[in-house]
Structure 1
Amino acid sequence: MKAADPAAVRKSRLFLLLIVLAFVAPMIAAGLLSWSGWQPGTKGNGEPILPQRNFVAEQLRVQLANGQPYAWRDSQPRLTLVALAGPGCAARCLATLTNMAAARVTLNRNQSRLRLLYLGAPPVDDARDGMRNYWQLGTDVDGKLAGFRPDAPDSVSALLVESNGTALSLYRVGFDPNGLRKDLQKVIK
């Protein structure tokens, strides 16, 4: 039997080490990035509500247009997208509300897992535009959501609320409806 060439053995071990390193290096890099707080693709388009608020615990009362109280906790787990209109909701506001309702429609078979709640004076021509077909209309009885309501006329902001009443995200005036749609598709599966 012929003795192995020490240079060939070193070369083989180096190749083996490079192969192992090619598989281990990405895992080490991912661990370091995660440890440092960086997470790919986890940033939503809405702003997180900090400190967190739970509308059930706060006893935030919403009265629907039919006189009934709005139940933040539903009989089944469903999120609520709350639209808060600024003064004089008209064409721009209604266009944003239409885009928000369309974002719900794009959830396809999961659209029943999202409720749409509009708080404020109904937009001009809301009956003609079919808004009541998609939105429950109501009023923030105690004004506890005033800090989220826009001041600009003909504008709308939105809140995404978990099925237990915890407010998750705020979408300020001028938010991107496509970003909202992407966030909804992430959380409603």
Structure 2
Amino acid sequence: MNATSPERLSPRSRGRWTLIALFGLFFGAMALAGVLRFSGWQPTAHRNSGQLLQPPADLRALPPTLANGQPYAWNPEARTWRILVAPSAGCTSACVTLSQGLGKVWQLFGHNADNVEILWLGTPPAEVLGVPALRVLRDQPDLRAALPAVDDPAGTPVYVIDPNGFVIMRYAPGFDMAGLRKDLATLLKLK
């Protein structure tokens, strides 16, 4: 028999090897977590569907005006999140489809729907006006210019604005509505 076989190890030596194995397991797991963290890897469940804007666009200095001429206040105390649609002129059937999808997303928030508003920059098609929680804003060139990549040739982007008036996310034209709902549901929990 070999002198280092398990039958020949003293209890003290077995305890030492057990302790070394526990240290290796603990610090190995921490090292793996550190490597994954600093390499930028994230679990799929923690990824945003939209593009997180770094730095976020600040709209606080550009107070929007509702279509009826009344000012639209950001009112951070109300903790209202906003979905902003800034379509180009002539957006018709695609905008109707987009608005219907946004209306469904808004309804799926259930009791949290009161904490979400849909802002439409400019004059929407007549079919869009039946969407709940829709606030029509005047088309203000300075507000439009502050939105990142607003004139996308692929279509109409959608933005998420936090309660303070910062544009924090952008969704490219043709995005998945389920991803917007998932991202906003996560943000609504940040009260």
- TM range, smaller chain: 0.7 to 0.9
What are the residue-to-residue correspondences of 1:1-80 with 2, within 5 Å? Answer: 7-9=9-11, 10-40=13-43, 41-56=45-60, 59-80=61-82
Per-residue deviation, residues 141-174 of structure 1 (Å, max 9, x unmatched)? 2343245434559x42111111111110111211
Structure with more of its chain in helix, by fraction: 2
**TM-score, normalised on structure 1?**
0.79
Q: CA RMSD in A?
A: 2.6
Contact 2:86 2:157 (C-alpha < 8 Å) held by counterparts: yes
Structure 1: unaligned runs, 5 residues or longer = none
Q: What percentage of aligned pairs have identical amino acids?
A: 28
Contact 2:96 2:127 (C-alpha < 8 Å) held by counterparts: no
What are the residue-to-residue correspondences of 1:101-120 with 2, within 5 Å? Answer: 101-120=103-122
State the secondary structure of the residue aligned to 2:9.
helix
State the secondary structure of the residue aligned to 1:92.
helix
Deviation at 1:39, TM superposition (A): 4.0
> Within 1, Cα distance between the matches of 2:183 and 2:140?
28
> Within 1, Cα distance between the matches of 2:79 and 2:133?
19
1:81 to 80, 83, 104: 83
Name which of structure 1's ranges 169-178 and 135-144 shifts more when overlaid on structure 2.
Answer: 135-144
Deviation at 1:81, TM superposition (A): 0.9
Structure 2: unaligned runs, 5 residues or longer = 1-6
- Does residue 149 of the first structure (1) align with residue 153 of the second (2)? no
Per-residue deviation, residues 104-156 of structure 1 (Å, max 9, x unmatched)? 222222111111111122124334xx23x331111232343245434559x42
What count of residue pairs does the alignment treat as equivalent?
179
Deviation at 1:62, TM superposition (A): 2.0
Q: Which residue of 2 aligns with 1:125?
A: 127
Contact 1:117 1:136 (C-alpha < 8 Å) held by counterparts: yes
Output the amino acid matched with 1:136. Answer: R
**TM-score, normalised on structure 2?**
0.78
> Within 2, Cα distance between the matches of 1:26 and 1:113?
40
